[in-house]
Amino acid sequence: MAKNIKTRADDYAQWYLDVIKAAQLADHSPVRGCMVIRPDGFAVWEAIQRDLDHRFKETGHVNAYFPLLIPQSFLTREAQHVEGFAMECAVVTHSKLEKKEDGSLGPAGELEEPLIIRPTSETMIGSMYSDWIQSYRDLPVLINQWANVMRWEMRTRMFLRTAEFLWQEGHTAHETFDEAEEETRRMLDVYASFAEESLAVPVLQGRKTEREKFPGADVTYTIEGLMQDGKALQCGTSHNLGQNFAKAFNIEYLGRDQKKHHCWTTSWGVSTRLIGALIMAHSDDDGLVLPPRVAPTVAVIVPICRKDEEKAKVRDFIERALTAILGPEEVAAARHRVVAHGLESYFFDHVTHQKILVDWRDTRPGDKHFHWEQRGVPFRLEVGPRDVDAESLVVKRRLDREKETVALDDLSRDWLQGRLDDFQSRLLERARRFRDENTRTATSYDEMKKILANEGGFVRAYFEPGEAAEERIQAETKASVRCIPFDQPAASGKCILSGNDTPTQVLFAQAY
């Protein structure tokens, strides 16, 4: 256990914040409820963004950008939408500042119409689509935006829920309901695949209840992950908006029948909350554990030497090791790079920008080990004079601190890549095992309450979704219906609350 990190058992909430601070992922900012994402944290977001952006483009989507500010009148056009977001909106009412008599600054130039800092962009993009779409030949429109949004949250937690956060929001328009529904489900599958393949976070897919769906949507689909404290985290959502926004913003097309029709639209998004998900799903009491596929640094080489002659000997060996792993061209090119703060940087992958570092800082080896362990680097390679004499090095894996001695002749890019892939697989397997062990079935309301109070996790139960019933359960247990899973049982059962026969099983959990 690291001295600067609370244990998960003692205080999970503080542990989470301590891990972020120790790994230097983010800091609180002077603006209430907002965070500063530090370089190491932003590098993880860049890896997420790069991977997802590739997946989006493979499914035919293109990127665009829309204004940060939205006319207030836009939000009033779709009644459910404005009701869902009104309490979270940040409002701009003035256009400039002016100097007061006492030397202070104050607002001047009141706007004719207040502007809303986007909480989401359905209204702005709907307005533009109404200009761009004229005919069925213009469809489908498949656009994604990488942006920041603002929702005036009262209770914030870094990465999980902040007033301003980064995300992507896809917005598409289609000719038919079936095409829109196919798009909505396709993008949910993209999210689920990404979460499991790249973040090693196993997720359950399903449909939100009417109470939990996105304001203004016909239906909302979700991927739900389970964190180590037994709470659920909504990791991504995909919404079939029906024709609601198309009617509100007059998004029409001339159909094949030469008649005017409203488009069918969708929206879908994930955010920097995914960084919170991987922290809470994988990290331990010693700090961050990063999935290799989104780790900015995949390995750190730590030289262990005291005397100058030892340092020269170790440096020569490390260059040979890097040449074996990366190839001579990469190592030769790296000699011309600036060594910042005692760290040499070598690209392991020029496409993903993942790197291998050599830590030449003038600090004790133990301090270096502690430093990189808290930052979640998947592998640490240690080289001392004895290792050089033995033509080998010691490899330590962050996942379980397993170590092995590897001969110099056995090093190669495939050698390291194989270990990274194994690390990734083990991480997913461990998280999936935890999820499965903490998913239980309840046949009565009392049984569900007991599970939630004593064990937490996901609880599957037969249930008739409804506003009043869901509000009662949340008030009494702090749990909500996370989703109606796609994998429904063949037989009906008794609703845990009403006792009526129902074909529907839902997934309950306390959640972030």
Q: Give the pLDDT confidence score for residue 82 in this predicted structure.
A: 74
The alpha carbon of residue 55 and the mean position of all alpha carbons in its chain are separated, in whole angstroms, by: 15
Q: Give the pLDDT confidence score for residue 81 in this predicted structure.
A: 78
Question: In terms of Cα–Cα distance, which of 415, 412, 418, 420 is closest to 324?
Answer: 412
The model's pLDDT over 441-459, given as tens digits with 9 standing for 90+, comes to 999 999 999 999 999 999 9
Instruction: Write down the residue that tokens 């990791």 correspond to.
Output: 235
The model's pLDDT over 376-396, given as tens digits with 9 standing for 90+, comes to 999 999 999 999 999 999 999
Q: Give the pLDDT confidence score for residue 457 in this predicted structure.
A: 98
Amino acid letter for position 190: V
DSSP assignment, residue 43?
H
Both tokens of residue 456? 């937490």
**In 321-375, at which residue ranges do the beta strands (DSSP E only) sit?**
343-349, 354-359
Annotate 444-493 with DSSP letters as a single string: SHHHHHHHHHHT-SEEEEE----HHHHHHHHHHHSEEEEEEESS--SS-E
What's the rounded Cα separation, in Å, for the pair 463 and 501?
Answer: 9
Domain 12-282 belongs to what topology?
Answer: BirA Bifunctional Protein; domain 2 (3.30.930)
The alpha carbon of residue 97 and the mean position of all alpha carbons in its chain are separated, in whole angstroms, by: 37
Q: Give the pLDDT confidence score for residue 77 in this predicted structure.
A: 87
The model's pLDDT over 202-219, given as tens digits with 9 standing for 90+, comes to 999 999 999 999 999 999
Give mean pLDDT, residues 162-169. 97
Question: In terms of Cα–Cα distance, which of 356, 360, 335 is closest to 347?
Answer: 356
**CATH for the 439-510 domain, from 3.30.110.30, 3.40.640.10, 1.10.10.10, 3.30.40.230:** 3.30.110.30
Secondary structure (3-state) at 351: coil
**Phi, psi values for residue 259, rounded to 5°:** -115, 155
What's the rounded Cα separation, in Å, for the pair 420 and 291?
Answer: 9
The model's pLDDT over 123-156, given as tens digits with 9 standing for 90+, comes to 999 999 999 999 999 999 999 999 999 998 878 9
- Which positions ≥6 away from 340 have C-beta within 8 Å? none
Dihedral of CA 172/175/179/181: which sign?
positive
Secondary structure (3-state) at 287: strand
The model's pLDDT over 225-238, given as tens digits with 9 standing for 90+, comes to 999 999 999 999 99
Instruction: Write down the residue that tokens 């213009």 correspond to.
Output: 138
- The number of beta carbons lying within 10 Å of the beta carbon of residue 247 is 15
Cα torsion 369, 10, 15, 460 to 10°: value is: 120
**In the predicted model, is pLDDT for residue 308 greater than 90?**
no
Q: Give the pLDDT confidence score for residue 336 in this predicted structure.
A: 57
The model's pLDDT over 178-202, given as tens digits with 9 standing for 90+, comes to 999 999 999 999 999 999 999 999 9
What's the rounded Cα separation, in Å, for the pair 73 and 61?
Answer: 29
- The number of beta carbons lying within 10 Å of the beta carbon of residue 478 is 13
Q: Give the pLDDT confidence score for residue 122 in this predicted structure.
A: 94
The model's pLDDT over 70-113, given as tens digits with 9 standing for 90+, comes to 999 998 887 777 777 778 899 999 999 999 889 899 999 899 99
Contact 208, 232 (CB under 8 A): no
What's the rounded Cα separation, in Å, for the pair 126 and 171?
Answer: 9
Domain 295-418 belongs to what topology?
Answer: Rossmann fold (3.40.50)
Question: In terms of Cα–Cα distance, which of 219, 238, 221, 240 is closest to 173?
Answer: 240
Please report, for residues 115, 118, 141, 231, 429, the alpha-carbon distance to residue 67 in angstroms, rounded to integers and kept in the order given. 11, 8, 18, 35, 42
Both tokens of residue 418? 């194989």
Secondary structure (3-state) at 121: coil
SS (HEC) of 162-230: CCEEEEEEEEEEECCHHHHHHHHHHHHHHHHHHHHHCCCCCEEEEECCCCCCCCCCCEEEEEEEECCCC
Contact 216, 308 (CB under 8 A): no
Which of the four pLDDT bands, split at 50, 70 and 90, describes residue 1? low
- Return the biggest CA–CA distance within the chain: 84
**In the predicted model, is pLDDT for residue 477 greater than 80?**
yes
- Which positions ≥6 away from 342 have C-beta within 8 Å? 359, 360, 361, 362
Query: Where along the chain do its domains lie?
Result: 12-282, 295-418, 439-510
